[in-house]
Amino acid sequence: MIELLSSEEFWAQGELPMCVYRMPYADFSRQLHTHNFHEIMIVVGGVALHHLDELHDSISMGDVFVIPPGHPHGYEVEENQGVQVVNVMFNFDDMNMNFRDLERIPGFHALFSVKNAKKFEPHLKLDAKDLAHVNSIVEEIEEAQESLVAGSEFCCETKLRELILFLSRRYSNVVTQGGFKNALRLGDLIGHMEKNYGEDLKFEDLAAASNLSPTTMRRLFHESFGCSPMVYLQQLRVKKAMLMLADPAKSVGDIAFECGFNDSGYFTRVFKKEIGETPREFRSRIE
């Protein structure tokens, strides 16, 4: 069951529609939930497995996610691990923010558009310097919220704009380096993989579906995703298998074949390499 969080739980009607929630270092998992406001999720420590829509990725210090309204997400913390997260929550519509030329920055649309394509994750990985800068902005928002002096709300909104601008520019670096453009060019191929991951796809099949030469497809994939098309397909199959393992009616062997693995033993080896545990171990942990 997906929990629904309402903005009324975090700020009262008539108040500035934003707040910061700094979670302590925790060894518990956060169940899937959705909300009717935007959330900037900043990982400042620890590791966990993050679920967002149909995506499942390991997260650690420096990861930043922008979660639009209506998108289910949550995370799982592994045994003997913990995670520390800072959430900046706000409502665009109620704040009536005029972003002016900010909308000319590609990263702004990629991160903060509620129409984000699920296959392109609204996600940034910040280095230590950038993470420290983001954390300092958030701390100033917290200090302003705790202050009762006149102008504190104006300060909060100004700092939120500064945070949005900083993250948008950082994301735009991906665009100027070609990664995001390349990902868009590979969109049809990614869609083909999503639809046919259970089939016996060969490299030649992927090249044909991409409408690119094999050499160009391989190069763009490495530039965009840091791996080959076949490795990406294998990782996609593992992610799909993770979802299927939540259904106790499906055997591990059946899931292996449904996800395009012709041998259940090979599936187990690949799954453990990618996730760090066997499919049965993963299933027992999420039951």
Task: Give the residue extent of every domain in the chain.
Answer: 3-176, 181-286
* CATH of segment(s) 181-286: 1.10.10.60
pLDDT in tens, 149-174: 899 999 999 999 999 999 988 887 76
Question: What does each C-alpha distance from 98 to 9, 59, 88, 150, 162 come to in angstroms?
Answer: 26, 32, 19, 22, 13
Domains 3-176 and 181-286 share a fold: no
Q: Please give the model's pTM, rounded to 2 decimal places.
A: 0.61
Which CATH number applies to 3-176: 3.40.50.2030, 2.60.120.280, 3.50.40.10, 2.60.40.3680? 2.60.120.280
- The answer to whether the CB of 44 falls within 8 A of the CB of 15 is no
pLDDT number for residue 114:
43
- The answer to whether the CB of 120 falls within 8 A of the CB of 183 is yes
pLDDT number for residue 117:
41
Give the CA radius of gyration of the chain.
21
- Rounded Cα gap, residues 57 and 242, in angstroms: 11
pLDDT number for residue 119:
42
Residue by residue, pLDDT tens for the chain (287 residues) are: 788 889 999 998 888 999 999 887 666 677 888 899 999 999 888 888 888 877 777 888 888 999 988 888 888 887 767 788 999 999 987 887 777 777 677 678 777 764 444 444 567 888 888 899 999 999 999 999 998 789 999 999 999 999 999 998 888 776 555 555 565 566 668 768 878 899 999 999 998 888 888 998 888 887 766 788 999 899 889 878 887 888 889 999 999 999 999 999 999 999 998 888 899 998 887 76
22: phi then psi, degrees, rounded to nearest 5 = -100, 105
pLDDT number for residue 132:
92
Helices 152-176 and 128-146: angle between axes, nearest 10 degrees: 160
